């Protein structure tokens, strides 16, 4: 198997790109903005994520999202270092920064925003998220991958 000498990702790895823009969740609720499920016996790496809010789109100084918590989860568990954050880290539409976050075999990857309430002066109406990464067959299971 040929792998990249820098990152170790196999040269035949596939890409995933999941995104959506949705209505902001009401207080006490959360919404999944982007979701990708790795196939069984496949590993992956999250390379990039992006966030969108209607307020940030109108004014790029509105990076704080008080009352809202963002998480990147694998199998329902927040992934370090993105356990919980309350601001725009990678704005939608900009190239952003690569993250290189390794994903477990068969991981269900989700980008979630939760409205924890407490902010009545700045309520978001639209939120969005994007996850972009790569996946590949984990050769620890032997043989070659089956066609998807």
Q: Which tens digit of pLDDT belongs to each residue from 8-20?
A: 777 778 999 999 9
Handedness of CA 26, 29, 32, 33 (dihedral sign): positive
Alpha-carbon span 126 to 85, nearest angstrom:
18
Residue entry with tokens 């998807």: 148
Sheet holding 126-137, edge to edge: 14-23, 126-137, 42-53, 101-103
> Does pTM top 0.75 for this prediction?
yes
- DSSP label at 3? B
How distant, in Å, are the alpha carbons of 25, 27, 57, 61 from that of 121?
A: 16, 14, 18, 16
Digit-coded pLDDT (tens) for 40-97: 888 899 999 999 999 888 888 889 998 999 999 999 999 988 899 999 999 988 777 8
User: Domain residues of the chain, as ranges?
Assistant: 14-138
| Contact assessment for residue 79 and residue 27, using Cβ atoms and an 8 Å cutoff | no
Encoding tokens for residue 40? 């069984």
- In this structure, which CATH number among 2.60.40, 2.60.120, 1.10.1740, 2.30.30 belongs to the domain 14-138? 2.60.120
């Amino acid at each position: 198997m040929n792998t990249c000498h820098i990152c170790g990702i196999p040269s035949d790895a596939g890409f995933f790109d999941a995104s959506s823009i949705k209505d902001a969740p009401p207080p006490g609720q959360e919404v999944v903005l982007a979701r990708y499920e790795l196939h069984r016996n496949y590993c992956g790496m999250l390379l990039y994520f992006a966030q969108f809010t209607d307020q940030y789109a109108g004014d790029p100084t509105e990076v704080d999202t008080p009352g809202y918590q963002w998480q990147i989860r694998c199998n329902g568990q927040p992934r370090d270092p993105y356990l919980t954050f309350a601001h725009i880290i990678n704005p939608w539409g900009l190239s952003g920064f690569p993250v290189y976050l390794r994903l477990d075999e068969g991981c269900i990857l989700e980008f979630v925003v939760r409205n924890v309430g407490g902010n009545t002066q700045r309520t978001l109406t639209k939120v969005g998220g994007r996850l972009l990464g790569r996946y590949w067959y984990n050769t620890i299971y032997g043989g070659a991958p089956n066609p998807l």
